[in-house]
Structure 1
Amino acid sequence: MPGGCAVAEAPGAATGLTRKHLVSAMKTTADLLDLLGEEPFRAQAYRSAARSLEGIEAEIAELLAGDFGGIPKVGRGIAAELSAYAQEGVFGPLEDAVSLVPPGVLSLFRVRGLGPKKIRALWNAGIASLEELREACRNGGVAALKGFGAKSAATILEAVEFALASQERQHLSTGLDVSLGLLDLLTGLEPRVAGDARRGLDTVRTARVTVTGSPEEVAARLEGRVEGLAPVEGKPVLAGRVNGVPVEVAYAPAPARGALDLMMGGAAGYRDELREHARAQGFSLSGRGLRRGDTLLDTPTEADVWRELGLPERPAEYRDPEHDAVWQSLPDPARLVTVHDLRGMLHTHTRWSDGAATVAEMAEETVRLGHEFLGTGDHSRAAAYANGLSIERLLEQLREVRELQAAGVPLVAGAEVDILEDGSLDYPDDVLSQLDYVVASVHSHFTLPPERQTERLVRAASHPLVTILGHPTGRLLLRRPSYAFDLDAVLAACEARGTVVEINANAYRLDLDWRVALAWRDRLTFAINTDAHVPSGLADARFGVAVARKAGLPPAGVVNTLGREEFLAFVARQRAARGQSSSGVS
């Protein structure tokens, strides 16, 4: 989006249309209409259509074939706009709204806690960029505005500084989506994902791809598909942007492809180490190939380069100096956890709370993706904003799950239970004990003093019926940092009580950070959970796996690599060790 507006991700011609793009475009349009103070009923229509589209099961190709007709709450006008979007790569109503808002004002959507109404108030006050907002927070201008105040200004200042520090990066999912779109356009040139996305970083600066071919071949494929496509001086690279995301496509002839992939697939420090090692062996190494003197060696794969240099193969996740010691300590790099190792999809949401599909539909998609069972995890009653379940509704859902289990649907019954301000849980123990497993998470009171936040989380992590501590730090990448607390103290409590720690695979969270998981990998058991609210969200497991692999986790370190009965036995042992009984499932 122009101006770095973080509330929309459009596909453009290079990335291909997805449900996510359609939903995002409509939600962003609604936000901008609210910002402009125009047509409130139209804004609500886009929001309703977006929610409806999130919840249907039809594939994107089916929607396109039907011109988006017959979707609840998607009227003829919006259907026509979506069809035009699919054909042209541009959502007209969004472009119209964007044209009426200065780019700097759009960037204010990146600030946590600012919605259309507050952004409009700031805009009316002459604050029209992140930099201007930061200054107004510092000089008292925001505090003086009606509806803000000194406390609000201090909170906004913290969020603005975070937004400014992160505005040049994209979520891993965005970088990977753009990279995969480029791969589609470069079919036949052996395209591969490179750079930050290949290394599994939680955020991506540039979407990089490598190919076997010439700059002319690359340019011919990407002409009109990548904005500002141009050569990078001195490098075998063409660069440009796709929907504001920087992209680089590096090219090489087949004999030099292995060197190119290595040079585009590691951090700067790792590349420097490789060049120095090559130099010490009498070679020169660059993206243009591995040479001895003036002779280009035939190294079409990375393995060929490593062999010539006398080095062991190294997974992309470990190609940075920060990982040197870890790499040396891995007992078996070939057995880092993979998506295929995950048998249970735990911590998922359904229509019972704020999900978009039924329990059965989520289970069906789990099996379709090659996993074995689904663990329900709808919100508890304190999460009223997410249609959290009262005790009565939870028990009603539990009856449905048991009936589906009896019919052969592979399920385990759970809940994502809010950790309350004092560290107690949102359901009483006699209710929690009826569930097969429990995820405990923080969704409120982010600004407690660090000591109280730590005590709160330690108490919850130590609860005898908590199976998994969900998204432990509360961070939202590029949007919200972790709340302030002693993470090591909380993880030590998890270790002492045998509580599993979640690696939340949602690309906007990726919480726990891989560095922390790495430091604790030999002391804790982890769960890679998608936190999926729609069936397609179950595929986000790949992002959590990227975190786990960077932390050096083998399958044995991840609890949902267990089969259904093994997982239930794990929970039973966990509860027995704490003096609690487990309801289990027959």
Structure 2
Amino acid sequence: MAELKGEGRAAELDPDTGELMGGRKALVSALKRTADLLDVLGEDGFRANAYRGAARSLEGVTAELGELAGRAFKGVPKVGPGIAAELTAYVQSGVFGPLAEIEAQIPPGVLTLFRVRGLGPKKIRALWDAGIVSLQTLWEAAQDGRLAALKGFGARSAATLSDAAEFALASQSRQFMSIGLGLGMQLARWLDALEPRVAGELRRGLDTVGTLRLTVTGTAGQVLAALAGHVDDLRAEAGKPLVTGCLEGLPVEVGFAPAGARGALDLTFGGGPEYRLRVRARATELGLHLSGRGLRRGEDVLDTPSERDVLRELQLPYLPPEHRENEHLALRDLPPEADLIAVRDVRALLHTHSTWSDGAASIADMAREAARLDFAGDGASYLGTGDHSGAAHYANGLDAGRLAQQLREVRELQAAGVPLVAGAEVDILEDGSLDYPDDLLAQLDYVVASVHSGFTLDSARQTERLIRAASHPLVTVLGHPTGRLLLRRPGYPLDLDAVLTACAERGTVVEINASPYRLDLDWRVALRWRDRLRFAINTDAHSLAGLQDVRYGVLAARKAALTPAHVINTLTRPELLAFVQAQRAARGA
């Protein structure tokens, strides 16, 4: 299962609480992946469709994964006895048997082609048949004309796939934050007796992860014993307090130290390269030496069981792990860790999709799940609908008539006490106009405007397009502003600062899309603009489980040094409605 790199794991970390989250999303991913690979193999479509149907049903159920497994998935629509048995075995073992079996029939390089934007199972099979069996050979075939000559591709397709393959090649050594955190927590479970803590990119909350780093209190022998049989290529590095290996295709590094040196280990493993250089240079200035083995004065190791103990000796302030990047080190006005936004501050789960468009659950079920999650713990959590507009025909987008029908349903649910606000994710058309008329938009409680097509417009036209949409008097939030898909495609070309300037001038909120596959707006940009904009951490959830993706958006917002005051999702429902009305009034809407 190397190419999955953790998608089949049944554990993820809630960055706000440190607790393990359920792995239903990983299970759904395994089902979808199995269906896609069956298509690549050209097997009977009935079996592939059965797995896809089961995946869609599981996206829509509210029960926890443990409860589903406890009753052997009985009662879940489209999950027959055979698939139920396979899923139960997966929950118990962490391996989805059918997927492992199918992956073994496909060359590893062919599996990497799924990383290329624009390639589905049928095209991947065509490439495989033509001897194009890796990202590198795909890029080469695009360069030398072989790809353009293949039936079903052509010169234009070859040029697009060349760029996409090049992007995938540059990204192939990294994995999504969500998968990295899930694998990191699996490592932590195996190391539970040694006080494990995530470190490196995981601890700092980077949007993608290249290495799984943890620290423990213990010895090399204890780490090796705990991870034996779980981690590949496991070995202790000579002369270093480090055990290395590989898990699901990602490098593993576990640092170890005795309790009295744990603070030095955590500090050196928990910062970006520039931060580590800075704290080590400060130690040298004071006649000390800092490394993963401890903080030393000559031959004596100072007793520093925590990072704060080390920083006290170095006379340096404590920086939250999220702020130990080069982008933060030159800034003087960053808020303390206690003031940063946390998942518990979020009440509004906005920009969500239902069965009205391409979601897996009804509006009522999505709203009930938002109320059940109640991250803020005050009973004030609520859902904001945000189904696609008609231009997104591929996503069963709503034309004006269907949106009016949906709006009637939402108002009836609101009258019945369901915690909802009515919205829509409206397509931004190529000229910057919106996909619904103003009189219909005005009836909504809030509006998200997003780009879903026309990615190839030149920078000037794309910039003009987004500025016009962001300046519209009825647009509340500019959705996923750059259109990037992490590890899959870069954002479209545009002058992003010009677009954000228009947002600041018009009071338009900018989305931090919390999907771990987007995390758009990038935290580095949000950090630069945090004092000029308001932000929305939006799940873009297409299923019940997707509502929990808010935690990834919160991690990105914390890296951008955002506090609850920066983020409209912290508002109660009356406060959000008042915010939107004030926003519209200021624009003369």
Quickly name the TM-score band, shorter chain normalised: over 0.9
1:331 positional shift: 5.0
- Which residue is 1:481 aligned to? 490
- Which residue is 2:479 aligned to? 470
Determine if the alignment matches structure 1 residue 209 to structure 2 residue 207. no
Determine if the alignment matches structure 1 residue 562 to structure 2 residue 578. no
- Which residue is 1:11 aligned to? 9
Superposed counterparts of 1:297-308, under 5 Å: 297-308=302-313
Cα separation, 1, equivalents of 2:130 and 2:32: 25
Query: 185-194 or 296-305, which moves further after superposition?
Result: 185-194
Q: Which amino acid aligns with 2:137?
A: E
Determine if the alignment matches structure 1 residue 341 to structure 2 residue 345. yes
- Which residue is 1:425 aligned to? 434
Equivalent of residue 558 in structure 2, options 525, 549, 560? 549
Query: 565-574 or 333-342, which moves further after superposition?
Result: 333-342
Q: Which amino acid aligns with 2:71?
A: G
| 8 A Cα contact 1:12 1:243, kept in partner | no
| 8 A Cα contact 1:5 1:110, kept in partner | no
Query: 472-481 or 267-276, which moves further after superposition?
Result: 267-276
- Which residue is 2:265 aligned to? 260
Superposed counterparts of 1:80-479, under 5 Å: 80-326=85-331, 328-369=332-373, 370-371=375-376, 372-479=381-488
Q: Which amino acid aligns with 1:549?
A: R
1:113 positional shift: 0.4
Q: Which amino acid aligns with 2:170?
A: A
Identical residues among aligned pairs (%): 66
| 8 A Cα contact 1:5 1:106, kept in partner | no
Q: Which amino acid aligns with 2:91?
A: A
| 8 A Cα contact 1:14 1:182, kept in partner | no
Cα separation, 2, equivalents of 1:226 and 1:341: 37
Cα separation, 2, equivalents of 1:306 and 1:112: 45
| 8 A Cα contact 1:14 1:225, kept in partner | no
1:214 positional shift: 2.0
Query: 166-175 or 71-80, which moves further after superposition?
Result: 71-80
* Structure 1 portions without partners, runs of 5+: 581-586
| 8 A Cα contact 2:11 2:23, kept in partner | no
| 8 A Cα contact 1:336 1:552, kept in partner | yes
Cα separation, 2, equivalents of 1:200 and 1:530: 17
Q: Which amino acid aligns with 2:541?
A: A
Query: 59-68 or 569-578, which moves further after superposition?
Result: 59-68
Cα separation, 2, equivalents of 1:140 and 1:5: 31
Cα separation, 1, equivalents of 2:101 and 2:578: 57
- Which residue is 1:584 aligned to? none
Q: Which amino acid aligns with 2:221?
A: E
- Which residue is 2:55 aligned to? 50
1:42 positional shift: 1.1
1:248 positional shift: 1.9
- Size of the aligned set, in residue pairs, is 577
Report Cα offsets for 1:441-466 as digits up to 9, x if no partner: 01111111222211211111111100
Query: 163-172 or 516-525, which moves further after superposition?
Result: 516-525
- Which residue is 2:580 aligned to? 571
Report Cα offsets for 1:7-58 as digits up to 9, x if no partner: x722289999721222111211111111111122111111111111111112
1:5 positional shift: 5.9
1:490 positional shift: 1.1
Query: 282-291 or 93-102, which moves further after superposition?
Result: 93-102
* TM-score between both structures, scaled by the size of structure 2: 0.94
| 8 A Cα contact 1:194 1:261, kept in partner | yes
Report Cα offsets for 1:177-217 as digits up to 9, x if no partner: 11122222222322211110111111111121111122222
1:269 positional shift: 2.0
Cα separation, 2, equivalents of 1:234 and 1:512: 42
| 8 A Cα contact 1:13 1:225, kept in partner | no
Cα separation, 2, equivalents of 1:87 and 1:448: 48
Cα separation, 2, equivalents of 1:119 and 1:67: 34
- Which residue is 1:520 aligned to? 529
| 8 A Cα contact 1:13 1:89, kept in partner | no
- Which residue is 2:16 aligned to? none
1:73 positional shift: 0.9
Q: Which amino acid aligns with 2:8?
A: A
Report Cα offsets for 1:54-102 as digits up to 9, x if no partner: 1111211112112223321111221122222233332222122112111
Cα separation, 2, equivalents of 1:356 and 1:14: 21
Cα separation, 1, equivalents of 2:206 and 2:11: 25
Query: 317-326 or 30-39, which moves further after superposition?
Result: 317-326
1:241 positional shift: 2.2
Cα separation, 2, equivalents of 1:24 and 1:560: 28
1:351 positional shift: 2.1
Task: Tell me the SS of whatever aligns to 1:72.
Answer: coil
Query: 536-545 or 416-425, which moves further after superposition?
Result: 536-545
Query: 49-58 or 304-313, which moves further after superposition?
Result: 49-58
Cα separation, 1, equivalents of 2:57 and 2:496: 39
Cα separation, 2, equivalents of 1:261 and 1:539: 28
Report Cα offsets for 1:483-524 as digits up to 9, x if no partner: 111111211111121111101111100000111112211211
Task: Tell me the SS of whatever aligns to 2:410.
Answer: helix
1:280 positional shift: 0.9
Report Cα offsets for 1:338-383 as digits up to 9, x if no partner: 2222221111122222222222322222233324222111111222
| 8 A Cα contact 2:449 2:469, kept in partner | yes
Task: Tell me the SS of whatever aligns to 2:431.
Answer: coil
Cα separation, 2, equivalents of 1:44 and 1:401: 32
| 8 A Cα contact 2:59 2:544, kept in partner | no
Task: Tell me the SS of whatever aligns to 2:414.
Answer: helix
Q: Which amino acid aligns with 2:361?
A: A
